[in-house]
Amino acid sequence: MSAATNDYADEAPELVDFLHRQSAFFRKHGGTVLKDDAQKLADAASLLDSYRAGLVLTDPLPALGVELIRWVSVSKAVPDADETALLRIVGPTETYVWAGYYDGERWVSAEGVPLGGDVVTHWAEFPAGPAVSDAAEEAA
């Protein structure tokens, strides 16, 4: 590997951190206007990290109904206030995934119940689900 390549490899972690910070800033201050840009920055950081780890990325197979869920650490960002998301929750006896939201002060289940002593560690946007035409075919 050349010296120039090593320089870039050494700078990659700093660039990944920068992209994550910018994504969190866009999410916090950009509202719905910059939501897509915030996700693109987070995706770019994840992609760079994946390549650094030596992973080869492929697209999910639509025929299999596979969707990618991107988990975000709550230490890096939280969803927009009152945006329902998937939550990874660590409770006293188990770890589970549940629908909920951050109301600006605390985590709340989708049913409106504060999570209390349970700790939310990560969150993700809801997957899109099957296409409308697929759902209609299954119902028929």
Of the given ranges (2-6, 12-16, 97-101, 105-109), which has the lowest mean pLDDT?
2-6
Which of helix, strand or coil describes residue 109? strand
Please give the pLDDT value at position 4.
45
Question: In this predicted model, what pLDDT tens digit does every residue of 16-61 receive, in sequence order?
Answer: 888 888 988 888 888 778 888 888 888 888 777 777 766 665 666 6
In the chain, what are the helix, strand and coil shares in percent, each to the nearest 5?
40, 20, 40
Asked if residues 69 and 127 have their Cβ atoms less than 8 Å apart, the reply is yes
pTM for the full predicted model: 0.55
Please give the pLDDT value at position 122.
93
Cα dist from 73 to 18, 83, 89, 90, 136, whole Å: 15, 16, 12, 13, 35
pLDDT at 106 over 80: yes
